[in-house]
C-alpha cells in the first residue's frame, strides 16, 4: 500500500498541468511613492481556465462518484484515483478557485450586506457539498476537496492521537469559523482565503509564511492524518453538522461485525466508535443528575467565555487593517520604529488626519468588543454541548464510523476481514 501511495505521488507530480497565468491589472493606478517600493505583480488564473458551468458539473460528478465508490462499490483504490483527479483539477488546474471552504465567507457577507454579489457558481459550491453530506456523509472531504486531497496523499504513516487530545483539538475549527465570520461581519476581510495554507502550492507562488505553513501541515500530515481538515477547517464544521443527520453513510463493515478491532486501530482520523455493551458507568438517576448539572452550568460557562472574549477584543481587533495601521502610525509618531511601511506612507500622503484615524479605530474596537463577546459565548456553547454529548452513554453493539468525524476515506475497508471475505477490492 505504501508503494502504491508513492507511485501516486510521483504520478501526481508528472500530471500537474502547467499553470497558465496572465498579469493582473489594477483597477485604479497605484500611487507614486519615493520610497523605492515596487508593488509585486499579481497573477490570476487565465480566462481560458474559467468556466463556471464546467466547474459545477465536475463538482457534482465527483460528489456522486465519491458516494458511489464509498457506499456501493466500497472501493478505496477507485476513490483514491478520484482524489488525485480532484487535486489536479480543483487544485492545480483551477488553482483552488472556486473554493467551497472559502465560499462560506461570501455567503456570510451577503447576509450582512444584501447588495454584496454572490455568483451562482459560488452559491452552488457552498451548497452542493452540504447537500451531499446531508444524504451520504462527508463525501466532499473524501475525494472532492483539493485541500483534503493533498493531505490524504501525504498521510503515509499515520499515528493515533490520544482521544482526549483529539477532542480538545477539534474545538479549533469552531474557533476559526467564529473568527472568520466575525471578520466578515466587521468588514475585516476574508480570513480563510488570506490564510489558506495550500493555495500557494496550487498557484505556484505566495508569501513565504503561508508556503511554510502549508509545508509544515503537509509534513505533520505524514504522521497526523489531515491536520488542517480535522483541527482547522471551518467549512468542515458545517459538513460535520450535516453528516450527523445523513441517511446513507459509510458503514464498517457493511455486514455483521466480528469485533476484530482492526478498523479502530487503522483509522488515522479517530472516527471509529467502539462498542458499548457493558452497563453504564452511572445509574440512570446519577446520569440524570449529571446531565442536569451540565445544563445548569451551560449558561454560566457561556457568560464566562463571553467575558473572556470581550477582554480579548483588543487583540482580535488587529484583524482589521485600520487597527494595524493606527498602531503603526502611533509607533512612528512616538519614534518606536524607523521608517514607514507602504500603508503608513499612503496614509500620510492622503487627506485623513491622525485624530480622524484614531476616532475610526475607536469605533472599530467597540464593534470588536461586542463581536468578541458573541464569539466567546459561541465557544462556550460549543464546549458545553461537547461535554454533554460525551456524558451521554449510547449503547452500541458493533464498531461504527462516527458520522460527525468520518471523512469517508474508505481506508478502513482494507483492514476489515468481513470486507475481504465479501470480495471488495480495497487495496
Rounded Cα distance, 136 and 132, in Å: 6
pLDDT in tens, 289-315: 888 888 899 999 999 999 999 999 999
> Pick from 159, 181, 36, 4: which is nearest to 105 by CA?
181
- Taking only the tens place, the pLDDT of each residue in 119-148 is 999 999 999 999 999 999 999 999 999 999
- Nearest CA-CA partner of 405 in 264, 212, 254: 264
What is the residue-averaged pLDDT of the chain? 84
Q: Summarize the confidence of residues 148-154 as an average pLDDT.
A: 94
Beta-carbon count within 10 A of 213 CB: 18
pLDDT of residue 281: 61
What three-state secondary structure class fits 44?
strand
Judge contact between 393 and 283, C-beta under 8 A. Answer: no
pLDDT at 41: 43
Give the separation between CA 404 and CA 396, rounded to whole angstroms: 16
Per-residue pLDDT tens digits for 168-216: 999 999 999 999 999 999 999 999 998 999 998 998 888 888 999 999 9
The model's pTM is 0.84
Q: What is the pLDDT of residues 218-251, one digit of tens each?
A: 999 999 999 999 999 999 999 999 999 998 998 8
Report in angstroms the alpha-carbon separations of 150 from 83, 88, 177, 202, 397. Answer: 8, 10, 22, 10, 35
Q: Residue 98: is the preceding peptide bond cis (ω within 30°)? A: yes
d(CA 98, CA 122): 7
The domain segmentation of the chain, as residue ranges, is 2-16+49-277+399-421, 284-388
Q: Note the pLDDT tens digit of each residue in 399-416.
A: 888 899 999 988 888 777
Amino acid at each position: 500500500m505504501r508503494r502504491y501511495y508513492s507511485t501516486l505521488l510521483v504520478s501526481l507530480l508528472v500530471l500537474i498541468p502547467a499553470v497558465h497565468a496572465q498579469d493582473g491589472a489594477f483597477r485604479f493606478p497605484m500611487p507614486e511613492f519615493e520610497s523605492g517600493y515596487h508593488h509585486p505583480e499579481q497573477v490570476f488564473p487565465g480566462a481560458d481556465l474559467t468556466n463556471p458551468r464546467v466547474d459545477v458539473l465536475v463538482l457534482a460528478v465527483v460528489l456522486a462518484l465519491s458516494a458511489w465508490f464509498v457506499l456501493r462499490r466500497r472501493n478505496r483504490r477507485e476513490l483514491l484515483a478520484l482524489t488525485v483527479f480532484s487535486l489536479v483539477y480543483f487544485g492545480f488546474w483551477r488553482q483552488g478557485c472556486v473554493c467551497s471552504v472559502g465560499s462560506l465567507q461570501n455567503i456570510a457577507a451577503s447576509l450582512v450586506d444584501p447588495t454584496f454579489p454572490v455568483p451562482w457558481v459560488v452559491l452552488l459550491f457552498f451548497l452542493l457539498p452540504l447537500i451531499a453530506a446531508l444524504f451520504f456523509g462527508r463525501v466532499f472531504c473524501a475525494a472532492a476537496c483539493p485541500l483534503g486531497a493533498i493531505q490524504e496523499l501525504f498521510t503515509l504513516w499515520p499515528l493515533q492521537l490520544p482521544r482526549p487530545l483529539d477532542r480538545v483539538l477539534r474545538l479549533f475549527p469552531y474557533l476559526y469559523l467564529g473568527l472568520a465570520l466575525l471578520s466578515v461581519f466587521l468588514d475585516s476581510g476574508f480570513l480563510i482565503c488570506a490564510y489558506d495554507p495550500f493555495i500557494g502550492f496550487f498557484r505556484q507562488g505566495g508569501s513565504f509564511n503561508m508556503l511554510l505553513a502549508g509545508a509544515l501541515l503537509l509534513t505533520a500530515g505524514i504522521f497526523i492524518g489531515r491536520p488542517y481538515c480535522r483541527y482547522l477547517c471551518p467549512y468542515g464544521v458545517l459538513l460535520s453538522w450535516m453528516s450527523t443527520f445523513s441517511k446513507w453513510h459509510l458503514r464498517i463493515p457493511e455486514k455483521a461485525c466480528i469485533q476484530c478491532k482492526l478498523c479502530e486501530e487503522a483509522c488515522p482520523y479517530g472516527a471509529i466508535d467502539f462498542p458499548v455493551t457493558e452497563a453504564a458507568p452511572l445509574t440512570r438517576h446519577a446520569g440524570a443528575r449529571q446531565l442536569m448539572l451540565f445544563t445548569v452550568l451551560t449558561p454560566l460557562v457561556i457568560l464566562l467565555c463571553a467575558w473572556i472574549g470581550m477582554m480579548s477584543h483588543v487583540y482580535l481587533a488587529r484583524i482589521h487593517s485600520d487597527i494595524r495601521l493606527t498602531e503603526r502610525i502611533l509607533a512612528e509618531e512616538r519614534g518606536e520604529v524607523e521608517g514607514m511601511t507602504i500603508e503608513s506612507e499612503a496614509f500620510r500622503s492622503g487627506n485623513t488626519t491622525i485624530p480622524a484615524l484614531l476616532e475610526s479605530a475607536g469605533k472599530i474596537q467597540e464593534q470588536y468588543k461586542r463581536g468578541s463577546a458573541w464569539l466567546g459565548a459561541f465557544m462556550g456553547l460549543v464546549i458545553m454541548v461537547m461535554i454533554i454529548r460525551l456524558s451521554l452513554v449510547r449503547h452500541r453493539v458493533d464498531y461504527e464510523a462516527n458520522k460527525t468525524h468520518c471523512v469517508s476515506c474508505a481506508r478502513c475497508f482494507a483492514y476489515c476481514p468481513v470486507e475481504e471475505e465479501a470480495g471488495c477490492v480495497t487495496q
